[in-house]
Structure 1
Amino acid sequence: MTNKKNFPLRIDSKLYDILQGWAKDEFRSVNSHVEFLLREAVEKAGRLPKNEDKKIEED
């Protein structure tokens, strides 16, 4: 089982509505879509250690 960290997120309601529609288009929940977008940003920024790349993609 994946170890997940819970935390509250305050977000502008208009931005949430956009994310909700986008998540629906991708057949994801808003939560999983936000995690997907954050993972993409971390990878693009080169912030993910190489040995972690595969591990996170498997989650």
Structure 2
Amino acid sequence: MASGSNKKAYPLRINADVLAAMQRWADDELRSLNAQIEFVLRDALVKSKRVKLVEKVVTELELLDDHKKDEAEKD
């Protein structure tokens, strides 16, 4: 799972209060709202061991072996 030019637009339905809190957090971290949401999602994926951190600066994630098998079976 790589980032960068491999980004895909996705419509998101989200509670207004959650969105406002994410916007405040993004402002505190000097990120765009989109970048903040992506940061939080990536962090959750790494912490749940669904992907591994490829670089210290989180620009790219890689599926762990057991999840690669699951993804391959879906295709």
2:32 equivalent to 1:29: yes
Q: Residues of 1 paired with 2:31 and 2:45: CA distance?
A: 19
Greater than 4 Å deviation, 4+ residue runs: none
Spell out the pairing of 1:1-59 with structure 2 (5 A cutoff).
Answer: 2-48=5-51, 50=52, 53-54=53-54, 57-59=58-60
Gaps of at least 5 residues in structure 2 are 61-75
Gaps of at least 5 residues in structure 1 are none
Q: How far is 1:19 from its partner?
A: 0.4
Larger Rg, first or second structure (1 or 2): 2
What TM-score do the two structures reach when normalised by structure 1?
A: 0.82
* Identity fraction in percent: 41
Q: How far is 1:2 from its partner?
A: 2.2
Instruction: Compare the two structures and name the one with the higher helix fraction.
Output: 1
Q: Could you say which structure has the greater relative contact order, defined with CA pairs below 8 angstroms and 6 or more residues apart?
A: 2
What TM-score do the two structures reach when normalised by structure 2?
A: 0.66
Q: Residues of 1 paired with 2:23 and 2:32: CA distance?
A: 8
Q: Residues of 2 paired with 1:30 and 1:8: CA distance?
A: 14
Aligned-residue Cα RMSD (Å) equals 1.9
Partner amino acid, structure 2, of 1:9: L
